[in-house]
Amino acid sequence: MKKIINITIIIFLALASLVFNKQAQAEVYCDDQYGGNCREIELQIDKLIYDPESNNFVDNLGINDYKFSNGEQITFKLKIKNNGEEAFKHIDVRDYLPDYVQHLNGDLSFEITDLVVNETEEREITVKVVNADKMPEGKSIICVVNKVEAWNGSDSDSDTAQFCIEEKVLGMTTIPKTGANLISAIILLIVAFSFGFYRIGKSFFKKSN
């Protein structure tokens, strides 16, 4: 009987060890930001950008995805989560806007207090793409990265969201330089042919008279 009890205790301890190991593994997270490596993250921040085409928040919008135009608004979402085993009494968060956008709404720097275990704090930030005259010349598409950081003492995390800006021509307000040169050449040819026909016609009427 005693042998059976000992075997039962050993089996119970083995099962308990598996359960605890599984829970410990659940506290390990992997992200692309660290080269695909896995690390323990207690304070986790995720930055998302709203995609007007899919009507969803996504991690990034690359060169082949939706591109924003001048004057268009962009919405970002910040998700700060406590993956640790204790509540965070104080968390500092700071968002770093890239060039070519203007801040409209939402705090770029703020504090979070008493973030309990498994709780997620969400915030949104809205910006607007600058006008075309404030964009660099000679580039029709520009891709930039928006970064955010969160820290609590020695524990910290950061994330980024990429998006691209495209200077879209809605109307023929200006003629490209190459187009202007082509039009000028056509006009000169028309004037030259017209003048030539005029001279030929004038000479013909002179001989007729």
Give 86-117 pLDDT, tens digit per residue.
Answer: 999 999 999 999 999 999 999 999 999 999 99
Query: For residue 21, is pLDDT > 60?
Result: no
Percent of the residues in the chain that have a pLDDT greater than 70, as a whole number: 62
Encode pLDDT of 147-185 as tens digits.
Answer: 999 999 879 999 999 999 998 765 443 444 444 455 555
Q: For the chain, state the CA radius of gyration.
A: 32
Say if pTM beats, i.e. exceeds, 0.85. no
What domains are defined for the chain?
A: 31-166 (2.60.40.10)
23: left (phi over 0), alpha (psi -120 to 50) or beta: alpha
Residue 114, token pair as written in the block: 């008493």
